[in-house]
Structures are given as structure tokens and as C-alpha cells.
Structure 1
Amino acid sequence: MSAVFIAIAAINGFLAVGLGAFAAHGLRARLPEDLLAIFQTGVQYQMYHALALFGVGLLCLHYQESALLKASGWAFLVGIIIFSGSLYILSLSGVRWLGAITPIGGVAFLTGWLLLSAAVLGGKTA
């Protein structure tokens, strides 16, 4: 499972860097400042949680099959998809109601961090 989370982390890190460059160079002249800031928030949180997924992957090497640890990784991925994805779509489309979906991704991020904490505090090392 560690390789899966590390690969997902790498893909999300790649996408965050690419989308950040796209925003800086391709969207700056096309989007109003407020929508560009929303897009950049999506990029930031995608990168933060790509790094969190990388950490989960590394921790999977040291902890026995931990359901909590795996659940934290999946929660981070769900958070990236819903939180960052909704911000990307909102900023590119201007459809403001998508902002109502974004907090669901935020809850997934929070859940991921709590699960990660529980996994490490209650887990047994391999």
C-alpha cells in the first residue's frame, strides 16, 4: 500500500506544480484576481496534501497494516479531488454554487489528519 500512496502523492505533486504554473502563466491575464486566488488556493491545498499522502506512504512502510493509516490516505485523496477540484472548476467556470461543495473536501482533509494521528498514536510498528 505504501507504493500506491507514494505514487498518488507524486502524481498530485506533479499536477499541483503544473496547475500552479498554468495559473501563473496562462490564467493571470484571463481570470479576474478573485478567481485566480481561488484557483491558487486549490493548488496550495493540493500540494500540501500531496505531501501528506507521501508521508502516509512512508508511514505504511513502518506500521503494520493499519486500517486507520490507509483510511487517512484515502481521505486526503478525496479531499484533494473535492476541495481542490471544486475550486478549479469554480474559478474556471465562474459557477459560484460549486463553493458549497468545497467544505466537503475540507472535512475530508480534517478527517485524514485525525485518522493519521489516531493511526500513529495507536498503531504498532512492524
Structure 2
Amino acid sequence: MTQIALIFGSLFGLTAVIFGAFGAHLLKKKLTSDQLQSFETGVKYQMYHGILLLVLGFNLKTSTAFDNSMMYAFIIGTFLFSFSIYGLVISSANHKKLKFLGPITPLGGLFLVVGWALLIWKFFFPY
């Protein structure tokens, strides 16, 4: 599982840099300031959780079901949260808003909250 965390952490970091540059340079002229701010929120959360996955991947010595659940919560949460924001913002800028993505963003946020709660639990009850 640590290998998967390292791979996804690296992929999230790589794509966050690409999407950040894309937003700052190409989308800046197409998006409103609110849309650009939303897009940047997706990029920030993706980068933060990419770094977190790298730190956990390098530091976790075990691969228990608990650790795997925590890692998957961060991976799934980051993907759902950030990528749904990208889809919402870009589709809205093209006047074809993909409304089905709206409920996916908070679901991704919920996965991220669960991942953080599991990390806190691990600190209090290490095994």
C-alpha cells in the first residue's frame, strides 16, 4: 500500500502543478474571479493531499487494513474533491455546467475528513 500512496502522491503533485499553471495562464482570461478561486482551491487541496500521501508512504512501516483504509480515503477523497471542482469550473466557463458533479465535491470532502480522522485515531491508538 505504501507504493500506491507514493504513486498517487506523486501523480497528485505532478497534476496539481500542471493544473495550477493551466489555471493561472490559460483559464485566467476565461474564468471569473470566483471560478478561478474555486479552481485554485481544487489545486491546493490536491497538492496538500499529494504531499501528505508522500509523507505517509515514506513513513508508514506497516500495511494494515487500517492504514490501507486511511490511504484510500485520502486518494479517493482527493480525486473526487479536486477533480469535481475542475469539472464544475471548466464546464461552467463553457456555459455547459455539469450539475451532476455538484454533489461529488462534498462527498470527496467527506472522504478527506475520514482520512484525517483515521490519521488522528492512529496517533492516539498506535498498534
Aligned pair count reads 122
Give me the whole-angstrom Cα distance separating, in 2, the residues matched to 1:66 and 1:59.
Answer: 14
Which residue in the other structure is 1:8 paired with?
8
**CA root-mean-square deviation:** 1.5
Q: Name the counterpart of 2:119.
A: 116
TM-score normalised to structure 2 length: 0.87
| Counterparts of 1:121 and 1:59, CA distance in 2 | 17
Equivalent in the alignment of 1:90: 88
Moved over 4 A (4+): none
Q: Could you say which residue in structure 2 is the equivalent of 1:55?
A: 55
Could you say what secondary structure the match of 1:35 adopts? Answer: helix
Structure 1, unmatched stretches of 5+, are none
Q: Deviations over 1:48-90 (max 9, x none)?
A: 11111112212323xx332222111110111111110110000
**Partner deviation per Cα, 1:18-66 (whole Å, 9 max, x = no partner):** 10011001110111221111111100110111111112212323xx332
Q: Distance in 1 between matches of 2:2 and 2:123?
A: 15
The sequence identity of aligned pairs, in percent, is 37
